[in-house]
Structure 1
């Protein structure tokens, strides 16, 4: 483990009641983290929740607090120096292990980690294609899914701190299984991964911790108890039970 807890120090919290604080501190999962912090207990953690629940906001801030570029990229590199941090990324702090402290604040060339976010990954891959220290393959000649897998295979392979925001966006079912294998191996190697996802396939990674976020804030849960899993199971068993509400005029 590299990071044990994400939190906002009391002296950095804006004054006033929680519901009067600036966005995103009013988002339930962020408000809860501001009050009590978020613990990380296993090498792989999935944040699961509906669109708008705040999971991507958390992952972006986690990346910024670790020193990664909020738009994505590898540890030890800043791609645009004049971009200010987000409100949450500026407030957030990490409680690390000794190994995590060395990773986070050691020499730039020794830092290991990567932030992959689906919404910026394609443009980012195109911008750095061919640069030393990344990958040799030409991702412009690949499908989106193949490009994602190329980045993952080359950038997510050493013990380090890795963050992912909906990596399943470009991946087929089979490719998601390949990513499960990669994540599992990373966890076994001493790396730490925090991933926001809508994928029940990824969330089933053996040994992973699952934190469900929503209007309730956030809570740890089991894979089989996720609302996401329940909905997919019901839909696959009887699509018509859902689709009749979508297609009725």
Structure 2
């Protein structure tokens, strides 16, 4: 992926990982890629633009189908980012709308989808409006991620329990093995531990590829679970 020329002096092009993308592009080296970083690091900005570069609406939904916005405008980064696809990737984007395979799930709009799209043609058969958010998310995943395609997720763990996150790990690994391409922005060390995944940590440094056990996220969770007081004593007055 590489961006066209864009103004550098305004958001989001001043965000370090976005500026790095403008300079060097991004290659998806493995079937499953995670973008991991703190709030404000730019991972959601990246994942939205990646979705748009593959003709997915940044609001969320299917390839070739718009949900929620009849005339959507692209994000600033999505306007300039261009994707170079493999032959297999090009096939996912080509052909009639009903045969295109791709989906963008973002936490902010996924709840609305589970309330309104269950049972509609081309979506999931279950009445997800009658389910918990976590159950609805899993029903959506199973139906929409059922064959090789381009799948983008922004913090899908938002509604998921520990065991549901593990089910999503299994599904993402299965998708990767099947020939799909998955890109996921996450705060979850569980999801980032998906076997064989490429992990890109974003922050003030820009972006860098790391192993799971090198993630700052994993280190913080380990320390917190071992001794919560070591963190809470700075925040809570006895």
TM-score, shorter chain, exceeding 0.5 = yes
In the superposition, the TM-score normalised over structure 1's length comes to 0.92
Structure 1 gaps, min length 5: 1-5
Structure 2 gaps, min length 5: none
Deviation at 1:111, TM superposition (A): 0.8
Query: Does the 8 Å CA contact 2:57/2:72 hold for their aligned counterparts?
Result: no
**Equivalent position of 2:6 in the other structure:** 13
SS in 2 for 1:70: coil
2:148 paired residue among 146, 149, 159: 159
- Deviating beyond 6 angstroms after TM superposition, the runs of 4 or more aligned structure 1 residues are none
**Equivalent position of 2:177 in the other structure:** 188
SS in 1 for 2:234: helix
2:223 paired residue among 217, 224, 234: 234
**Equivalent position of 2:29 in the other structure:** 41
Deviation at 1:203, TM superposition (A): 0.3
Deviation at 1:64, TM superposition (A): 1.1
**Equivalent position of 1:91 in the other structure:** 80
Query: Does the 8 Å CA contact 2:32/2:172 hold for their aligned counterparts?
Result: yes
Query: How big is each residue's C-alpha offset from its partner over 1:33-53, in whole Å with a ceiling of 9 and x where there is no partner?
Result: 001101110000000000000
- In structure 2, C-alpha distance between the alignment counterparts of 1:23 and 1:172, rounded to whole Å: 34
Query: How big is each residue's C-alpha offset from its partner over 1:169-194, in whole Å with a ceiling of 9 and x where there is no partner?
Result: 10011110000000000000000100
Deviation at 1:81, TM superposition (A): 3.1
Query: Does the 8 Å CA contact 2:117/2:124 hold for their aligned counterparts?
Result: no
**Equivalent position of 2:55 in the other structure:** 67
**Equivalent position of 1:199 in the other structure:** 188
- In structure 2, C-alpha distance between the alignment counterparts of 1:40 and 1:186, rounded to whole Å: 15
**Equivalent position of 1:219 in the other structure:** 208
**Equivalent position of 2:12 in the other structure:** 24
- In structure 2, C-alpha distance between the alignment counterparts of 1:223 and 1:108, rounded to whole Å: 37
- In structure 2, C-alpha distance between the alignment counterparts of 1:232 and 1:130, rounded to whole Å: 39
Q: Which moved more, 1:59-68 or 1:158-167?
A: 59-68
Query: How big is each residue's C-alpha offset from its partner over 1:105-161, in whole Å with a ceiling of 9 and x where there is no partner?
Result: 332222101100011101122222321111111111111100100000110110000
Deviation at 1:245, TM superposition (A): 0.9
- In structure 1, C-alpha distance between the alignment counterparts of 2:52 and 2:222, rounded to whole Å: 36
Q: CA RMSD of the aligned region, Å? A: 1.1
**Equivalent position of 1:126 in the other structure:** 115
**Equivalent position of 1:51 in the other structure:** 39
| Number of equivalences | 237
- In structure 2, C-alpha distance between the alignment counterparts of 1:241 and 1:147, rounded to whole Å: 36
Q: Which moved more, 1:48-57 or 1:124-133?
A: 124-133
SS in 2 for 1:109: helix
Deviation at 1:82, TM superposition (A): 1.6
